[in-house]
Amino acid sequence: MADGSGSSGFLRDNFQGVGFWNPTQILPHERNRKIARMDLNECPYPPSPKVIEAIQDAATGLNLYPDGTCPQLSALLSEQTGVPLDQICYGGGSTQLLTAIAEISIAPGENLIAPEIVWRRFQGVFQVVQADVTAIPNKKDGSIDAAGMISGIGNKTRLSIILTPNNPTGLMLSEQELRDICEQTPENVLLFIDEAYHEFALHAGGPNAIDLVKDRKGPWVVTRTLSKAFALAGLRLGYALCSSQEIANALRLATSTFNLSGIAEAAAIAAFEDKSYTQFILEENSREMGRIKKGCQDLGLAYMDSVTNFISIDTGVESGPVVRALRDRGVRVSTPGYDATGTYIRASTGLPEDTDAFLSALEDVLALQSD
């Protein structure tokens, strides 16, 4: 009954009684204290000084609506990727685009296919569109089963979701696996590749999805973000590279005409142009990731061999209490959202001192757990 007191009979079934979890919430004991924030796969460094300057310059135009097609940014991305300007569109973070992609392709009850281990936000996307989901089990090492993602497609499948690298595993598909998926996903299925960690994958010598998907005969969308390797999670800027103008326009309709602010466009251009700063971020990340992996080896802990800025680690004990105990010690990590054993935690890379704090708190917490 809709009585204005929280009862939700007027909502569609899939929205009734939904909760909200605020991942950035600061707990009372975390205020005014140095926290190792290693739970949200953010960049621990501030944006490039050139980006901050560009934001200040763009601020004077805030009285006007921006050009939602972001002509200058689109020209830059078009040059980078070879995707025509009118096939590029934007979201308030790529998160917004994920839902929009599902909305433009899936009607309630229609089928999509996705890996079983997938970034937890996707569960929300599936709920919003009321999809019938075919979840393909990941391989033993946690990586996406490329062959399974092809053979699992049925007559009614309309959307296939691939993440490379995937979250929470941090693992990427090989060039051959990605090529097979691009070629063998049927032409009546929209192939969606989430490449939020694209720059990290390239840095690790991985394939560039756009080079492979462009040869595909059927429809496709690749999403990327400025949140990770460009240190701009707070700006909320993601983009979609689409196989047709029709798909890009559908995404614009499902999001908004003025989806990106002029500030965001200016910041993104400056971020792409400051290549040495991105290189600095990627190199710092590799070093700290190496230190975390080494620390896990020293503690005798298994982990997934991530190429990104986060890593899933098997603590060998129930993960929830470990996450809480680390947080009590000023180190924020998360559970991966999906893990068959319930013993994994997911930690993002941070500053060198965050790595130190994490490894020493983890040793401490695990010693207490085994007592």
Q: Which stretch binds ligand PLP (CB under 6 A): 87-95, 265-273, 340-348, 351-359?
A: 87-95
Residue nearest to ligand PLP (CB): 93
- Nearest approach in angstroms of CB 317 to ligand PLP is 25
Q: What minimum distance in Å lies between the beta carbon of 301 and ligand PLP?
A: 22
Cα 30 from Cα 321, distance rounded (Å): 18
**Can you name the residues that pair with 242 across neighbouring β-strands?**
221
Question: Per rule CB under 6 A, is residue 48 in the interface with ligand PLP?
Answer: no
Nearer to ligand PLP, 255 or 365 (CB): 255
Q: How far is the CB of 136 from ligand PLP (least distance, A)?
A: 16
Query: Which residues, at least 6 apart from 87, have a Cβ–Cβ distance to it below 8 Å?
Result: 241, 242, 243, 244, 245, 247, 248
Which among 75-83, 88-96, 202-210, 348-356 is the span making contact with ligand PLP, rule CB under 6 A? 88-96
For 149, counting Cβ atoms within 10 Å of its Cβ (0-12 exposed, 13-18 middle, 19+ buried), the class is buried
Instruction: Give the integer Cα–Cα distance in Å for 247 and 185.
Output: 18
Site for ligand PLP in 129-148 (CB under 6 A): none
Supply the minimum distance, in Å, between the C-beta of residue 239 and ligand PLP: 9
Name which position in 88, 113, 119, 182 contacts ligand PLP (CB under 6 A).
119
User: Quick check: 167 binds ligand PLP (CB under 6 A)?
Assistant: yes
* Single-letter code of the amino acid located at 120: R
- How far is Cα 36 from Cα 77, in angstroms, rounded to an integer? 34
Q: Does 238 bind ligand PLP (CB under 6 A)?
A: yes
Single out the residue of 303, 285, 283 nearest to residue 293, CA to CA.
303
**From 140-148, 225-233, 261-269, 343-351, span contacting ligand PLP (CB under 6 A):** 225-233
By the rule CB under 6 A, 206 interacts with ligand PLP: no
Comparing CA positions, the residue from 255, 234, 241, 232 lying closest to residue 211 is 241
- Of 48, 95, 285, 335, the residue at the interface with ligand PLP (CB under 6 A) is 95
Give the total of residues touching ligand PLP (CB under 6 A). 13
Does residue 157 bind ligand PLP (CB under 6 A)?
no
Q: Does 250 bind ligand PLP (CB under 6 A)?
A: no
**Stretch of 93-101, 108-116, 143-151, 352-360 lying at the interface with ligand PLP (CB under 6 A):** 93-101
Q: Which is nearer to ligand PLP, 171 or 366 (CB)?
A: 171
Cα angle for residues 54, 59, 63 (degrees, 5° grid): 150
Stretch of 90-98, 99-107, 184-192, 201-209 contacting ligand PLP, by CB under 6 A: 90-98
Show the tokens assigned to 217: 């005969």
d(CA 145, CA 201): 18
Answer for which of 177, 194, 274, 339 binds ligand PLP (CB under 6 A) is 194
Q: Among residues 202 and 317, whose Cβ is nearest to ligand PLP? A: 202
Q: CA of 287: how far to CAs of 178, 196, 280, 309, 355, in Å?
A: 27, 20, 11, 10, 10
201 sits near ligand PLP (criterion: CB under 6 A) = no
- DSSP of 282-349, one letter per residue? HHHHHHHHHHHHHHHHHHT-EE---SSSEEEEE-SS-HHHHHHHHHHTTEE-B--S--TTS-EEEEE-
Give contact residues for ligand PLP (rule: CB under 6 A). Answer: 41, 93-95, 119, 163, 167, 194, 196, 225, 227, 233, 238
